[in-house]
Structure 1
Amino acid sequence: MAKEVERKFLVKSQGWRGSAEATLPMRQFYLAATPGRSLRVRIIDGREAWLTMKFGTHARTRDEFEYSIPLEDAEELCGFAIGHVIDKTRHHVSHHGYVYEVDVFEGHLAGLVIAELETPDHVGDAALPHWLGREVTGESEFYNASLATGLPLGAA
């Protein structure tokens, strides 16, 4: 089991684009989501798939179990998705020794851009990139499970 420790931010400008080091198209969907727990399938670049279970309601830290699954299984499981399938492109952006994952959403979420910083370190506001906007860590409406289902699911 791993602990996921992350902060989430809305992105207020395109200032990150020049520093993007990797770009990965993703499709993800939820098979189950309730307050404090979720079961997600993610297909990355149409080449690999992961099954992820998350547990916990703390805004920054959750238990996470993640397993590689056959791509064919993931595609079949999509037929059991609850809510919307999320299409997004993830960009890895380095800033002051940290990698920010900037997700640019498509489809029904087009226009939404969220950055995540996964680290147990305390990163002070002065060390954050200028292109980050309001911090939304712990705001349930910005968790992917909530975005997919339209339901306030806490930190699921």
Structure 2
Amino acid sequence: MTVPPFIFALFDYDFAMIEIERKFLVRHTNWGQPESSRRIEQGYLFIAEGRSMRVRRTGEAYEMTLKVQGEGLMRHEINTDIDAAQGQKILDELCVEPPIQKTRHVIAFAGKTWEVDVFDGANDGLIMAEIELSSEDEQFDLPDWIGPEVTDDDRFFNSALSSHPFQDWGVSYDDLIASKEAA
């Protein structure tokens, strides 16, 4: 599936890229000193089969992102910066509730960059790590704090967490890790 060209015309976009990422639950938070940490709030304008559009606030900056599922792990991602007043209005009035709230920690390990999201708000207790790859078969080392992989479980997409947050799952984080390891 490809993104129709007219979609790109809707954005004065900074770039369009292909994203290949894998997601994992996190066993513990002893990952050492992060390279950086930042607070993120994001809301979704729409969530549909294989695509979503979100607005994200990081500090005082706002960005709108369109994501469209491609083949395998590949996703098309188009980002554009938006005006802070518009971004906040969209988050406050137009997005699916509740917004995703998290702190993202950037951690280097074995020559790779990991982004670890510690969720709060409606997804409090959930901790996930993502690694972006240049190909689906790229090899990488797993830190000891990485738990079970959840790449193929749609419940762990941020768009899914917006409409069905972790707090509504009726399971503790430790039980979630145990059930994913047993699967």
Shift of 1:59: 5.0
Instruction: Give the counterpart letter for 2:21 in structure 1.
Output: E
The answer (yes or no) to whether the contact 1:91–1:102 under 8 Å persists in 2 is: yes
Correspondence 1:4-23 to 2 at 5 A: 4-16=19-31, 18-23=32-37
Instruction: Give the counterpart letter for 2:113 in structure 1.
Output: V
Partners of 1:97 and 1:7 in 2: how far apart? 16
Partners of 1:114 and 1:138 in 2: how far apart? 14
Shift of 1:56: 1.1
Partners of 1:20 and 1:9 in 2: how far apart? 17
Structure 1: segments with no counterpart, 5+ residues: 152-156
The answer (yes or no) to whether the contact 2:70–2:76 under 8 Å persists in 1 is: no
SS at match of 1:104: strand
Shift of 1:83: 2.7
- Select 2:58's aligned residue among 41, 44, 47: 44
Aligned to 2:139: 123
The answer (yes or no) to whether the contact 1:100–1:115 under 8 Å persists in 2 is: yes
The answer (yes or no) to whether the contact 1:2–1:63 under 8 Å persists in 2 is: yes
Partners of 1:58 and 1:139 in 2: how far apart? 16
String of CA shifts for 1:95-135, please: whole Å, max 9, x gaps. Answer: 011110000000111110000001125124xx111100000
Structure 2: segments with no counterpart, 5+ residues: 1-15, 166-183
Greater shift, 18-27 or 53-62, is seen at 53-62
Instruction: Give the counterpart letter for 1:38 in structure 2.
Output: S
Note the aligned Cα RMSD (angstroms): 1.4
Q: TM-score, normalised by structure 1?
A: 0.90
Instruction: Could you list the structure 1 runs, at least 4 aligned residues long, displaced by more than 4 angstroms after superposition.
Output: none
Q: Determine which structure has greater relative contact order: mean sequence separation of CA pairs < 8 Å that are 6+ residues apart, divided by chain length.
A: 1
Number of residue-to-residue matches in the alignment: 147
SS at match of 1:74: helix
Aligned to 2:40: 26
Which structure: larger Rg?
2
Aligned to 2:85: 72
SS at match of 2:35: strand
Partners of 2:113 and 2:43 in 1: how far apart? 24
Judged with a 3 Å threshold, the aligned counterparts in structure 2 of structure 1 residues 30 and 24 are, in CA distance, closer, same or farther, namely same
Aligned to 1:2: 17
Partners of 2:64 and 2:127 in 1: how far apart? 23
Q: TM-score, normalised by structure 2?
A: 0.77
